[in-house]
Structures are given as C-alpha cells and as structure tokens.
Amino acid sequence: MNITLNGDPLDVPGPVSVAALLETLAIDARRVAVEHNLVILKRAVFDQTIVREGDNVEIVNFVGGG
C-alpha cells in the first residue's frame, strides 16, 4: 500500500499497526512521536492504531537545537 511518510510517498506492506511500521523502519518507538492523519498519538496506542492505504504519517524525534 502507499502512504505518505514525513511528506514523502512510501510503499509498505499493510495495513499495518504504527508499532509494526516503526519496527519495519528500525525506529525506536520510545524516542519518537507519531502523528497519524493529523492526530498525535499516545505511545500506548501505537499497537492498536492501524495505518491504511493513503494515510498520512509523521514521525518526529529530538535533534540538536537552541
């Protein structure tokens, strides 16, 4: 299926849970925040939130800044 991840198109097998998507992308779930179709998710719901065809996902983390 095709989704938009951090503004870019991405082809991933799915539907898939946010937790599984992060695992596929080798991203440590404890260090990121995820927005799914403009809804900011609590970490506790990563398992039960399903990403489907056409969905928009933003994954952010902390970087250096002032």
Partner 1 sequence: MASDNLVIADRTFQSRLIIGTGKYPSNAVMAKAHEASGADMVTVAVRRVNISDRSKESLLDYIDTSKMFLLPNTAGCYTADEAVRTAQLGREAGLSNWVKLEVIGDEKTLFPDNEQLLEATRILARDGFVVLPYTTDDPIVCRKLQDAGAAAVMPLGAPIGSGLGIQNPNNIRIIREFSRVPVIVDAGVGTASDATFAMELGADAVLMNSAIAGAQDPVAMAESMKLAVRAGRLAYRAGRIPRKMYATASSPVEGLVGR
Q: Which of 1, 19, 20, 32 binds partner 1 (CB under 8 A)?
A: 32
Indicate whether 25 belongs to the interface with partner 1 (CB under 8 A).
yes
Q: Which of 14, 15, 23, 35 binds partner 1 (CB under 8 A)?
A: 35
Indicate whether 52 belongs to the interface with partner 1 (CB under 8 A).
no
Rounded-to-integer distance, Cα 48 and Cα 44, Å: 9
Tokens encoding 37: 């179709």
Rounded-to-integer distance, Cα 38 and Cα 64, Å: 25
Rounded-to-integer distance, Cα 19 and Cα 40, Å: 14
Residues that bind partner 1 (CB under 8 A): 5-8, 10, 25-28, 31-35, 40-43, 58-66
